[in-house]
Amino acid sequence: MRTCTFFGITGTRLVKNEPLKKHTSFHIGGKASYFVYVSSKRALARVLQTIKKRKMRYFIIGSGTNVLFSDKGFAGVIIKLSGIFKKIRKKGNYFICGGGAAIDTFLRTVVQQKFGGAEFLVGIPGTIGGGIKGNAGAFGKSFADITRQIYIMNEKGEEKCLNHTAIGFGYRTTRLRQSIVVLTAVFELKRKNRTRIKSLMARNRAQRLKQMPRGFSAGSFFKNPLPNTAGALIESCGLKGCRIGDAEVSTHHANWIINRGEAKASDVVQLARMIQRTVKRKRGIVLQPEVQILR
């Protein structure tokens, strides 16, 4: 079978009209006009330059665990990092990790090398690039605690190195624009007894599983309006189990919206807006989505 490339660019693999529901944990979304796998920095730079020249819309997808695509799909280019972007290597107390590597793979690697400090990542889905851009975390820690610097590529295909301050970590956010690609991240960890690492990971995993609803979802849908939690606010408004179409507020954890099988993106969006209106009316707090919603 002949492999298609994106406008003849070596190091790319193109799939046209790719169903996005295959690439997201929500299992929702129409088709992407172009779905491009990119395996090298040179190829990525050329892809971004081509997109800019042709004035095309694009989105970088990791594991699709924190995104909701429209039922109409995505009229543009979806870029997925592969090849060198999945590599992980160790240098002293530092781990240099590709932006396309799975968080779970990174965690297994550091545990094998007897390094601690990343135990909070257990059970967090997604890729390193997506995790950094959203400053993912749990148990009071986040990527901000272990990241020392990152290498990025902008819309023009230009590479830059950003230190911790320049990244601009905040609660479930950074200064990184959606269009920025995280090429590589440098994490600093400390040597630790493997038994202690695994013990902490086991406790963290058990706690996450106890809180985690079953079904297709994107995890926590709203950011916690600290010091409150979104789940507690939604539950206090009596919204557990509320449903629009096949989209439902989980009866297990109110900050999760579950696709019960055939939910549409429009169902999820309508349900999310209803939650926001109700919480604002009853509690005076505006909930902000943690999930990226692409229309």
- DSSP designation for 3: P
Q: Residue 170: which residues within 8 A CB-CB, separation 6 or more?
A: 135
The dihedral region occupied by 70, where left means phi > 0, alpha psi between -120 and 50, and beta the remainder, is beta
The dihedral region occupied by 55, where left means phi > 0, alpha psi between -120 and 50, and beta the remainder, is left
Q: Which of 172, 194, 208, 243 is catalytic?
A: 172
Separation of alpha carbons 270 and 265, rounded Å: 9
Could you confirm whether 172 is annotated as catalytic? yes
- CA neighbours closer than 13 Å in the CB half-sphere of residue 34: 21
User: Considering only CA atoms, which of 119, 155, 110, 156 is closest in space to residue 138?
Assistant: 119
Q: Which of 25, 217, 220, 250 is catalytic?
A: 220
Q: Which of 18, 119, 248, 290 is catalytic?
A: 290
- Phi, psi (degrees; rounded to nearest 5) at 153: -130, 130
DSSP string, 238-249: T-TT-EETTEEE
Asked whether 84 and 40 are in contact (CB, 8 A), the reply is yes
Could you confirm whether 290 is annotated as catalytic? yes
Could you confirm whether 262 is annotated as catalytic? no
Q: Which residues form the catalytic set?
A: 172, 220, 290
